[in-house]
Amino acid sequence: MPPRALEPAGVALVDKPRGPSSFAIVAQIRRRTGARTGHAGTLDPFASGLLLVLSGRATKLAPRLVGLDKRYRAEVDLTCRTSTGDPEGEILERHEPPSEQELAERLERLRGVVELPVPAASAVKIGGERAYRLARRGVEVQMPLRRSTVYALDVVACAGGRLTLDLHVSSGTYVRALADALGGHCTALRRTAVGPFCVEDAVPPEELTPARLLPGAEVLRRIAAARTAAE
């Protein structure tokens, strides 16, 4: 098989729909461009929002992008926990939602630096095998803890056992793990930003054209500007 083309080159801001996997979106774009294609962090199939897809020579920028912080809008069902922390898992338990005071205490414990178990339905390798494959076979394993930083965890709405949150978190944070720690599961998740890149500037995968690719130099300029502004 001949090597993938290095052009068109750039970073695509793609608005991933709910349903397909991130890998399916990357493959779709690869077929259209014929270029080497990668990503800077996946989204679960049930999630939507900003996906950074790297094309051609810009795939070498992946190390500069994967560590950027993320922003999400999440909806959490506080009356039910699932095996995956999302709507695709099996129901583990049903219960009454926490009181207002108890919820406030749980939210406060999840702000700042936190350590939470990696969800069983994740791509983390356990003994050389992906955790989600073990979970599908019903193999129970002790999942490792992951340390991350929750910069902001703001309540947008809360009614009827349903909670809507705006989150600003460090790279590698599992929102499903946060939902589980709150005593529920994540029913909807939308990534609204990755570092200085916003979903408002993204396009659906079927509308992506080479003209919409951000040049590598522009990508690095935006990252540098964002870091300078944060200092």
- Report the number of secondary-structure helices (H) and strands (E) in the chain: 6, 13
Q: Per the residue annotation, which of 44, 69, 86, 180 is the catalytic one?
A: 44
Question: What's the rounded Cα separation, in Å, for the pair 67 and 70?
Answer: 9
DSSP assignments along 60-129, one per residue: GGHHHHTTS-EEEEEEEETTEEESSSSTTSPEEEE-PPPPHHHHHHHHHHTSEEEEEEPPSSSS-EETTE
Contact between 92 and 83 (Cβ < 8 Å): yes
Amino acid at the residue 35: A
State how far the alpha carbon of 55 is from the alpha carbons of 17, 27, 43, 52, 87, in Å. Answer: 20, 11, 18, 10, 32
106 backbone dihedrals φ, ψ, rounded to 5°: -65, -40
* Six token digits for residue 132: 């989600």
Active site residue 44: yes
Contact between 10 and 216 (Cβ < 8 Å): yes
Largest CA distance in the chain: 61
Contact between 56 and 9 (Cβ < 8 Å): yes
Question: Which residues are catalytically annotated?
Answer: 44
